[in-house]
Amino acid sequence: MRKVYVTPIILLILFLSAQTTFAGPTLRTMFTPLLADPLEPRIAVMPWLDDDFLQLDIGTSADLYQSKDNRFAFGIDFATFSLLGRDDNFKFPVDTIDYLFGVSFSWKHPLKNENLPFDDLSARLRISHISAHFEDGHYDEEADEWINEDDCPFGIPFTYSREFINLVLALSSENYRVYLGYQYLFHTIPDDISRHSLQAGLELSTPGNTYLAADFKLLPEWDDELDKTDGFHGTWNLQAGWKLTGLGLENVRIAYNYYNGLSRHGMYFYDDESFSSLGFIVDL
């Protein structure tokens, strides 16, 4: 199935590279990354405040092409989302890690209606793959067994892989942005997973280079008795942060996060969790 998508993508890259409007790859993507979406490619170090875990994210998005009128862009996404334990002697065993890569298409249209409180209407369409894996930090070497193996409805290890299309529409002004999103899985392992999920969010600039952001998702909820997803579960990610622009660090922010809902990690996609974290995020 993947070969079907590879050839058109290669042809599109070759076509864009031949255009006179091609300006070269840039990390300043036309569609601004969502601040509070926990699966947005970024560099982040976010220790949990209420448990001995650490979130370590490494990734970025880049536009390979942007039109001269700043209306259309084509780009790529690469990211890893890791959950690490925090042990003595400065050790961070990796419990689980998710890998994401894909392509994106962005569009932006200025709004000139004075009756509307927004300056731009924008959209981003992603075609992505994500897979997840338990690592050595989830294995007890002394007992020679996986940790909490009985809690996993699929046994350990199991295969987690998804290919999906994600569409986000956003209305923005200088100080705030609202957005709606929809995601469709066109392939998934394990099977019997609902193919649909919804997303909404708000970002608000506040005084002193601070901001507030909220991301809400309706995600398919796993039912152990039915052995499939049944219904949806609301998942919140609330963030308050300070952008270090005044210190000359334009793309760095200190952020406090509160997460409540289904885990973002594929190995725990069936698990409900709630935690707070505080750390640094770098938006390349």
Which tokens sit at 261? 């809902």
Bridge partners of 81?
Answer: 57, 98
Which tokens sit at 99? 């890998």
| pLDDT tens readout for residues 93-119 | 999 999 999 999 999 999 988 788 999
Per-residue pLDDT for 2 more than 70? no
Question: How far is residue 275's CA from residue 257's CA, in Å, rounded to a whole number?
Answer: 8
| pLDDT tens readout for residues 154-167 | 888 899 999 999 99
Per-residue pLDDT for 15 more than 50? no
Question: What SS3 class is residue 244?
Answer: helix
pLDDT score at 11: 44
Which tokens sit at 225? 């008795």
* Location of structure tokens 């979406």: 37
pLDDT score at 157: 82
* Location of structure tokens 């993947």: 2
- Residue ranges of domains in the chain: 2-282
What is the residue-wise DSSP string for 16-41?
A: HHTSTT----BSS-SSPPPSS-TTS-
Identify which has the larger pLDDT, 209 or 157. Answer: 209
Give phi and psi for 141, each to the nearest 5: -70, -35
**Long-range pairs for 8-11 at CB < 8 Å and ≥24 separation?**
9/103
Q: How far is CA 202 from CA 32, 38, 40, 171, 214, in A?
A: 13, 14, 15, 10, 5
Question: Thinking of the domain 2-282, which architecture would CATH place it in?
Answer: Beta Barrel (2.40)
